Amino acid sequence: MTWRRLDVRVRALAARLADETDPGDRVALLCPQGTEYVTAFLAALAAGLVAVPLYTPGLPGHADRLAGVLADAGPSVVVTTSRARDEVRDFLGAGGPRVVVADEVPDDEGRDRQPVDPDAEATAYLQYTSGSTRAPAGVEISHGNVVANARQALAAYGLDTRPMTSVGWLPLYHDMGLVLSVAAPVARGALSVLMDPAAFLHEPVRWLRLLAAHPDAVSAAPNFAYDYCVATVSAGQKEGLRLDRVTALINGSEPVRPGTADRFHAAFADQGLAPGTHCPSYGLAEATVFVCAARPGEPLSRFALDRDALAAGKALPARPDDPRAVLLAGCGTPAGQRVRVTDPVSRALLSEGEVGEIWVQGPNVGRGYWNRDSEDVFGAEFADAAAGPGRWLRTGDLGTVLEGQLVVTGRLKDLIIVDGRNHYPQDVEATAQEAHGAVRRDRLAAFAAPGGAGGECAVVVAEHARTARLAELDVAAVVRAVRGAVSARHGLRLADVVLVPPGTVPRTSSGKVSRALTRTRYLEGAFGGQPQPGAAG
């Protein structure tokens, strides 16, 4: 779509939405990935309404979450497309919100209507969190928030002064997909190229071909996507592929492993991919999305940290070849906002090298959670106001500052605490998936469960590789390998290791493994009646 064509479609749909709603109503977007989704999002904003970016009911495994979010948001109108109209109406049932079919609204409907002049402080949309550690909550993102964050991200990646093409397969209901593929291109006046997430998952080389086809390409993906490309893109598919015009590849959503960047660049170095394109980044929905990033063209910052010291709250250097070292990438520095590392209990500012909760302050921090008391999250204050005056966002993420860069170490709520020692679940998961070839990469969850004597124990639930059949696997051997590797590397005894078929471990709507939901289902006995932790002594 050209900008002129987009403007025509946005005006037409905004006019229809304004006729169907009252100012400030919520408008849920249940569209497939595509230009209609972009049109519907911008039309809701242009009509002075609050957009709720969601997905069609057919997204596997997420119908219950969709129903819960719709009940929480209470939209008066749902926007979809003719392709998805029947499944949306069936899902909503009788008495649900009105349905507007975006591609059936005629162009001339908005010819005489001007867009509402937006109030920077008014809520533009509700960004529902992915729910990896708790029930999804809608973050109120104002018009000022999203414009500020789009400009912050553009500046951080050097895209405010040079040509760019956004190439995205991340879903548009996800915070990074929405900002990178819609908000930043609109703020910059840049080309945005979209593909469906399912198309990437089915054949990841399609993403690389789009990167090759468009000069000055910038794209984003979670850590697993880069390893997925390395594992699945064949030598034949690499022939004729040129990646020397890629500007930046953003890597975020979990602590970024330097090994992933190394493997990806080794796999595609012959295609001209420059090492400096990999940009480890950190962000979250409560801050619109972007917080910190490594800059394009800079070498990857790597830190080898002592695992025991890290668990005790100190980031102490270790030899990279030490088996007890944790290897993490630096996520660079913020642009246009402030980031501090804080003791989550005393709310005291911590020094460089001390691990604590990451706090954020800036014009991109959302207004709060929709329909929830969120003062403790969005209105935090330091014990000593001189350490950082004003209100701060408590991210719930753990990290430290090393050599001036933010290093993210994990989630505060995900910590596994056994016998008084802290263990990071993603660290345990990394060890478990390397322990045996039958464990499927990035499809496992480590978490704490109730143990004996009122304490906690550690559990791993892992999918087996698609190339193996559970009935033919030596499950006992896989379990022994995982237990042994975790014990040797972490000094942690696993109370239970459960091997399940591919597709069993629940994921969030953004594709991350949901440790919280995996834990809940495990405790409910949903993975085959395994013994309750602690029961066997």
Structure confidence by residue, pLDDT tens digits, 2-33: 999 999 999 999 999 999 999 999 999 999 99
Report the distance separating Cα 497 and Cα 101, nearest Å: 47
- CB proximity list for 516: less than 8 A, separation 6 or greater: 131, 132, 133, 134, 413, 447
- pLDDT at residue number 415: 87
Report the distance separating Cα 123 and Cα 119, nearest Å: 8
- CB proximity list for 482: less than 8 A, separation 6 or greater: 432, 435, 436, 439, 460, 462, 494, 497
| Ramachandran sector of residue 51 (left: φ over 0; alpha: ψ -120 to 50; beta: rest) | beta
- Kindly state the tokens that stand for 8: 């025509």
- pLDDT at residue number 535: 39
Report the distance separating Cα 296 and Cα 261, nearest Å: 13
Report the distance separating Cα 177 and Cα 45, nearest Å: 17
- CB proximity list for 8: less than 8 A, separation 6 or greater: 107, 110
DSSP strand pairing (191-194 vs 138-142): unpaired
- pLDDT at residue number 510: 67
- CB proximity list for 24: less than 8 A, separation 6 or greater: 48, 49, 50, 122
- pLDDT at residue number 435: 95
Residue type, 490: H
- pLDDT at residue number 257: 83
- Kindly state the tokens that stand for 307: 């695992």
Helices and strands in the chain, H and E counts = 17, 24
- CB proximity list for 479: less than 8 A, separation 6 or greater: 497, 499
- CB proximity list for 88: less than 8 A, separation 6 or greater: 30, 56, 57, 78, 80, 99
The domains found in the chain, sorted by start residue, are 3-117 (3.40.50.980), 165-411 (3.40.50.12780), 416-523 (3.30.300.30)
Report the distance separating Cα 494 and Cα 97, nearest Å: 48
Report the distance separating Cα 53 and Cα 152, nearest Å: 22
For the chain, the average pLDDT equals: 92
Closest to 478 in 3D by CA, of 435, 511, 536: 435
Check if the beta carbon of residue 401 is closer than 8 Å to that of residue 342: no
Can you tell me which residue has the tokens 């995996």? 518
- Kindly state the tokens that stand for 486: 């975790």
Strands, sheet with 356-361, edge to edge from the N-terminal-most edge strand: 338-342, 356-361, 393-402, 405-411
Phi and psi at residue 27, to the nearest 5°: -125, 115
- pLDDT at residue number 353: 96
Distance of CA 99 to CAs 6, 14, 79, 111, 536, Å?
Answer: 21, 14, 6, 22, 54
| Ramachandran sector of residue 347 (left: φ over 0; alpha: ψ -120 to 50; beta: rest) | left
- pLDDT at residue number 391: 96
Longest dimension (CA), the chain: 74
- Kindly state the tokens that stand for 154: 């553009």
Report the distance separating Cα 41 and Cα 50, nearest Å: 9
Per-residue pLDDT tens, the chain, 537 aa: give them. 999 999 999 999 999 999 999 999 999 999 999 999 999 999 999 999 999 999 999 888 788 889 999 999 999 999 999 999 999 999 999 888 999 999 999 999 988 878 888 899 999 999 998 654 456 799 999 999 999 999 999 999 999 999 999 999 999 999 999 999 999 999 999 999 999 999 999 999 999 999 999 999 999 998 889 989 999 999 999 999 999 999 999 998 666 789 999 999 999 999 999 989 999 999 999 999 999 999 999 999 999 999 889 988 999 999 999 988 999 999 999 999 999 999 999 999 999 999 999 999 999 999 999 999 999 999 999 999 999 999 999 999 999 999 999 999 988 888 898 887 889 898 999 999 999 999 998 899 999 998 866 678 999 999 999 888 878 889 999 999 999 999 988 889 999 999 999 999 998 766 788 888 899 899 999 887 544 444 333
- pLDDT at residue number 136: 75
